């Protein structure tokens, strides 16, 4: 079977209609699709019509080789015909020869997540030659695989499940474009992020907008740009949204961001003791979920959509999600008793899935196995078959990217060997702020050094020392060799700053076929000079 690429049908229209056109007739193509309305079988049908419903899962069986079947999610399927066509199906079919077509909603295919991408030493050196060091290198296949991992993990959730990409983690347009073609949602916090989505080919329809400032002007701006799903987190924010909706004269699906005040075991916590984000269930004043819910129900242009919480980033124990859902359930049941009829259409459990950074951390499957049963019971107890959204920035992007820098000098100082890089914390600010250690290795490696190795950056700042441990592979370090930092795709490119007049480095992307292209041009020092105010100098 060969599926003709139809990229124009795989981005914004992904959730309305998608066509699969075989180049030659393949009578035994068999598509099994799972939508929120149940399962559809389309033997021999080369057309998938979704009509404003989303395919949650899709299995494809072909007779390319008799007895072979392919089970895949919609995103894999779309990716398959967009990026791999026949190859994709052959590869998957080969891996599953003679495997019966299964209902993947009840029996998710057991595919393990791939490890972080590997790039050959040869490629790393030739890219260094061409683009200079340091440079960032992203891997498109890893970005796509991360979406598939999340979708697969939640396959047993009874309602519709959507992944939302938290654009703040990495707003590179090539990354955004990749996620657009995966058909996922976008979690945004600024109208400027919306501009990035729209310019990358996405639509405002796929946005969940969670403002921190919640001004009328901001709400009015994003409503005019087409956003219709907004999360409010304060009573005055809600009034501002109502005002903006009236000005623009549009109905808004309105969600309430609650702070369930649970203890979170994470590097960055946003729940217990942190009042910046979300509302108390009952704070004893207007800034309470109860008041806000009642006000939404009383405001004609605001349609109550559901609840949202975000517990933190790099959450290393998923128990807090279960606790938050339990508290939310009690709140909803009580509110239904007191306020009468309302329906929860969406529950957004925020982000926080951790990236490994060289350690064992909970996977999406671990999170899902902790909460999917509970969420399915919640559907029963509140009587609303809500859609589930889970957001992610770090998990979706961290492992996709490496930072490649060069060793420029070596010095002995006492017992230690100081290895100087041409990178510094200005390109890895996330690690400097959180003091977390990225997996790092010298390429090509060598025997572990007898001396203690201290990896330092090029900035004139005592803080510019990279955290390393026995996990770091620093053997064989010598001037001229490359050093690769792994898992740097989240929150580092976006915090890239020009400390010491350092121009921003190139960002490269390896696509699904293994070709390298530029995803962000490197800045030269003349450009930096102008951007930093050189163009304001009066001559």
Ligand X SMILES: Cc1ncc(COP(=O)(O)O)c(C=O)c1O
Residues at the contact surface with ligand X, assessed by CB under 6 A = 166, 169, 187, 210, 310, 313, 350-353, 391-395, 490
Give the nearest distance from C-beta 387 to ligand X in angstroms: 16
Distance CA 38, CA 151 (A): 17
DSSP structure class, residue 22: B
Residue 398's nearest CA partner among 363, 364, 354, 365 is 354
Give the nearest distance from C-beta 270 to ligand X in angstroms: 7
> Cβ distance 309 to 269 under 8 Å?
no
Which of residues 44 and 275 has its CB atom nearest to ligand X in the complex?
A: 275
> Cβ distance 280 to 235 under 8 Å?
no
- For residue 256 the two structure tokens come to 């309430």
Which of residues 77 and 171 has its CB atom nearest to ligand X in the complex?
A: 171
> Cβ distance 196 to 220 under 8 Å?
no
Give the nearest distance from C-beta 361 to ligand X in angstroms: 12
Which of residues 274 and 385 has its CB atom nearest to ligand X in the complex?
A: 274
Which of residues 31 and 266 has its CB atom nearest to ligand X in the complex?
A: 266
Give the nearest distance from C-beta 366 to ligand X in angstroms: 15
The H or E element containing residue 421 is strand 416-421
- Give the list of residues 6+ apart from residue 195 with CB closer than 8 angstroms, or none: none
Give the nearest distance from C-beta 239 to ligand X in angstroms: 21
Give the nearest distance from C-beta 519 to ligand X in angstroms: 20
Residue with the closest Cβ to ligand X?
351
Is the omega angle on the peptide bond into residue 252 within 30 degrees of 0, that is, cis? no
Give the nearest distance from C-beta 26 to ligand X in angstroms: 40
> Cβ distance 191 to 225 under 8 Å?
yes
Residue for token pair 């999917």: 372
Could you tell me where the beta strands, DSSP code E, fall in 393-506? 401-413, 416-421, 440-443, 452-456, 482-485
Could you tell me where the beta strands, DSSP code E, fall in 11-64? 17-19, 30-35, 38-43, 47-49, 55-61
Which of residues 180 and 349 has its CB atom nearest to ligand X in the complex?
A: 349
Which of residues 202 and 352 has its CB atom nearest to ligand X in the complex?
A: 352
Which of residues 350 and 505 has its CB atom nearest to ligand X in the complex?
A: 350
């Amino acid at each position: 079977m060969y599926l003709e690429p139809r990229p124009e049908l795989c981005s914004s229209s992904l959730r309305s209609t998608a066509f699969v056109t075989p180049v030659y007739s393949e009578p035994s193509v068999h598509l099994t699709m799972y939508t929120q309305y149940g399962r559809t079988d389309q033997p021999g049908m080369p057309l998938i019509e979704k009509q404003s419903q989303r395919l949650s899962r899709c299995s494809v069986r072909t007779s390319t080789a008799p007895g072979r079947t392919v089970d895949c999610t919609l995103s894999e399927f779309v990716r398959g015909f967009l990026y791999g066509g026949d190859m994709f199906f052959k590869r998957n079919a080969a891996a599953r020869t003679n495997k019966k077509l299964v209902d993947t909603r009840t029996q998710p295919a057991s595919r393990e997540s791939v490890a972080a991408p590997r790039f050959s030493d040869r490629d790393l050196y030739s890219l260094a030659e061409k683009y200079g060091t340091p440079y960032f290198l992203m891997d498109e296949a890893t970005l796509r695989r991360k979406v598939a991992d999340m979708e697969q993990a939640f396959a047993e959730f009874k309602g519709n499940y959507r992944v939302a990409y938290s654009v703040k983690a990495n707003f590179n347009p090539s990354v955004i474009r990749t996620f657009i073609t995966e058909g996922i949602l976008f979690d945004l916090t600024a109208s400027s992020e919306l501009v990035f989505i729209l310019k990358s080919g996405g639509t405002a329809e796929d946005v969940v907008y969670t403002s921190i400032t919640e001004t009328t002007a901001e709400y009015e701006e994003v409503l005019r740009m087409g956003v219709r799903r907004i999360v409010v987190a304060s009573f005055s924010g809600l009034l501002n949204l109502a005002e903006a909706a009236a000005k623009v004269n549009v109905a808004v699906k309105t969600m309430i961001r609650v702070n369930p005040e649970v203890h979170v075991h994470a590097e960055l916590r946003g729940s217990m003791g942190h009042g910046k984000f979300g509302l108390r269930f009952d704070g004893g004043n207007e800034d309470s979920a109860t008041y806000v819910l009642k006000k939404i129900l009383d405001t004609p242009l605001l349609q109550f959509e559901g609840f949202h919480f975000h517990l933190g980033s790099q959450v290393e124990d998923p128990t807090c999600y279960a606790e938050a859902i339990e508290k939310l359930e009690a709140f909803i049941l009580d509110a239904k008793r007191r306020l009468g009829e309302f329906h929860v259409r969406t529950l957004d459990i925020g982000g926080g899935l951790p990236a490994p950074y060289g350690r064992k951390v909970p996977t999406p499957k671990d999170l899902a196995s902790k909460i999917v049963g509970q969420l399915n019971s919640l559907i029963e107890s509140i009587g609303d078959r809500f859609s589930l959204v889970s957001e992610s920035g770090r998990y979706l992007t961290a492992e996709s990217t490496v930072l490649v820098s060069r060793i420029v000098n070596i010095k002995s100082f006492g017992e230690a060997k100081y290895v100087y890089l041409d990178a510094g914390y200005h390109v890895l600010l996330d690690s400097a702020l959180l003091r977390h250690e990225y997996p790092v290795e010298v390429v090509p490696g060598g025997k572990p050094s007898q001396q203690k190795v201290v990896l330092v950056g090029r900035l004139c700042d005592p803080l510019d020392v990279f955290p390393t441990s026995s996990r770091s592979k620093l053997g064989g370090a010598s001037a001229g060799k490359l050093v690769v930092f792994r898992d740097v795709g989240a929150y580092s490119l976006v915090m890239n700053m020009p400390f010491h007049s350092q121009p921003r480095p190139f960002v490269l992307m390896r696509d699904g076929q293994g070709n390298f292209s530029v995803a962000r041009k490197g800045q030269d020092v003349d450009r930096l000079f102008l951007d930093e105010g050189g163009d304001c100098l009066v001559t």
